[in-house]
């Protein structure tokens, strides 16, 4: 018989396999459709913890879990040699006498097993295997490094592991990979940052780590498609912590994100929607030529989520500086907003209403 899909893949609300997992402020993951329906019904508590949520809760895409779900394949009986027991694999990984080939085989098996077994993920971290995994991340062997990063990503999926992995020194290794690793490794490393940043205390730790945010910003410039996307997602995750917004701005993230947004990477607007919340971010956006035109293009052609962040960002800028109001009007934003006031999405309706009031009232905060 094929093994059942793991419970980690199921939405706590619908109990169905998640197609678009997102992380709530409480740290719990839900399918976007289910949690959005919960929020649109007026609830402002976490369905699991019952603790209060912000008035405007953010839903952070859980790209790591989504990737695991999409890549998951059912295990069926075969005549092939059975996989070694986890304890044997762990011993081979931690043994100083194990060859590179042996460690690579152990990492490959463990990465596959930990995709679907949360209990095994906890056992591995409790067994003292993490230092051995991190040592493989430090390896100069690209294959060994990539498998070690995949295993580290799996281990980071459990909330109970996130703080412990940071304490073990995971950030140091991950940042090094972001700086000098191969493209696939850099993409996984950025995804690990996103996963670890689910825990609030880790956001501050990651942001304060030397070169963590600069490495992500550099990846926005030098990385390829997947790397840029994962780097933007990681920045979004850690910039919900206010101090990290200023760090990202100081690294020159604003014009880079504007350029990426203009070239079609919509995820950049999510990060800009956080950076615009601070004065430094707004001032940097004011310096970018064509800023309003890029944001208006998001309003015209973006996804529902992109339009939300585009409306919010443009409203913050128009409230901050009178010139943005004039430019937004000239770009036809009033007409665009009139077409959005009847949108089904409650956030789009609310942000549209706020932007209309700003453009009609022209009350800049200076």
Q: Which two tokens stand for residue 95?
A: 């043994």
Whole-structure pTM value = 0.76
Residue 173: predicted pLDDT = 95
Q: What Cα–Cα distance (Å) separates residue 221 from each residue in 217, 247, 315? A: 7, 17, 27
Q: HEC profile for the chain? A: CCCCCCHHHECCCCCCECCCEEECCCCCEEEHHHHHHHHHCCCCECCCCCCECCCCCCCEECHHHHHHHHHCCCCCCCCCCCCCCHHHHHHHHHCCCCCHHHHHHHHHHHHHHHHHCHHHHHHHHHCCCHHHHHHHHCCCCHHHHHHHHHHHHHHHCCHHHHHHHHHCCHHHHHHHHHHHCCHHHHHHHHHHHHHHCCCHHHHHHHHHCCCHHHHHHHHHHHCCHHHHHHHHHHHHHHCCCHHHHHHHHHCCHHHHHHHHHHCCCCHHHHHHHHHCCCHHHHHHHHCCCCHHHHHHHHHHHCCHHHHHHHHHHHHHHHHHCHHHHHHHHHCCHHHHHHCCCCCCCHHHHHHHHHHHHHHHHCCCCC
In CATH, which superfamily holds the domain spanning 8-61? Zinc/RING finger domain, C3HC4 (zinc finger) (3.30.40.10)
Strands across the sheet with 21-23, in order? 29-31, 21-23, 60-61
- For the chain, how many residues are written? 366
Identify the bridge partners of residue 31 per DSSP, sorted by sequence position. 21
Blockwise average pLDDT, block size 10, the chain, 366 residues: 63 85 89 86 86 85 79 45 74 88 92 85 87 92 94 90 93 95 94 92 94 96 92 94 96 96 92 96 95 95 92 95 92 94 89 93 51
Would you kindly state where each structural domain of the chain is located, as residue ranges?
A: 8-61, 87-251, 286-365
Backbone angles phi, psi at 61, to 5 degrees: -55, 130
Residue 153: predicted pLDDT = 93
Q: Which CATH fold topology does 87-251 show? A: 1.25.10
Closest by CA position to 327, among listed 289, 365, 275: 289
Q: Is the torsion defined by CA of 281, 287, 289, 292 positive or negative?
A: positive
- CA dist., res. 115 & res. 130, Å (int): 16
> Residues 6 or more apart from 199 whose CB is under 8 A from it?
27, 159, 162, 163
Domains 8-61 and 87-251 fall in the same CATH topology: no
Is 322 exposed, middle or buried, given 0-12, 13-18 or 19+ CB atoms closer than 10 A?
A: middle
């Amino acid at each position: 018989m094929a093994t059942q899909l793991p419970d980690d893949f199921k939405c706590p609300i619908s109990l169905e396999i998640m197609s678009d997992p997102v992380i709530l402020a409480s740290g719990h993951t839900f399918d976007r459709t289910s949690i959005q329906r919960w929020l649109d019904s007026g609830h402002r508590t976490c369905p699991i913890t019952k603790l209060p949520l912000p008035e405007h809760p953010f839903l952070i895409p859980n790209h790591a879990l989504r990737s695991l779900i999409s890549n998951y394949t059912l295990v069926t009986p075969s005549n092939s040699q059975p996989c070694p027991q986890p304890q044997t694999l762990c011993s081979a990984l931690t043994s100083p006498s194990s060859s590179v080939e042996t460690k690579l085989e152990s990492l490959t098996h463990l990465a596959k097993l930990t995709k679907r077994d949360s209990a095994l993920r906890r056992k591995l971290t409790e067994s003292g295997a993490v230092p051995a995994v991190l040592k493989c991340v430090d390896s100069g062997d690209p294959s060994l490094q990539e498998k070690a990063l995949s295993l580290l990503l799996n281990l980071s999926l459990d909330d109970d592991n996130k703080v412990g992995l940071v304490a073990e020194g995971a950030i140091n290794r991950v940042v090094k990979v972001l700086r000098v690793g191969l493209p696939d490794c850099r993409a996984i490393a950025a995804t690990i940052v996103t996963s670890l940043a689910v825990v609030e205390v880790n956001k501050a730790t990651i942001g304060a780590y030397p070169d963590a945010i600069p490495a992500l910003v550099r990846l926005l410039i030098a990385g390829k498609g997947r790397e840029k996307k994962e780097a933007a997602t990681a920045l979004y995750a850690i910039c919900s912590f206010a101090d990290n917004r200023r760090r990202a701005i100081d690294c020159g993230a604003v014009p880079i994100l504007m350029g990426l947004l203009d070239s079609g990477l919509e995820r950049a607007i999510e990060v800009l929607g956080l950076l615009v919340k601070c004065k430094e971010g707004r001032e940097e956006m004011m310096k970018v030529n064509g800023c309003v035109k890029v944001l208006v293009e998001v309003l015209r052609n973006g996804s529902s989520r992109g339009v939300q962040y585009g409306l919010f960002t443009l409203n913050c800028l128009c409230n901050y500086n009178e010139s943005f109001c004039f430019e937004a009007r000239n770009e036809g934003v009033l007409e665009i907003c009139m077409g959005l006031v009847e949108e089904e999405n409650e956030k789009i309706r609310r942000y549209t209403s706020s932007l209309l009031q700003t453009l009609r009232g022209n009350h800049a905060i200076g």
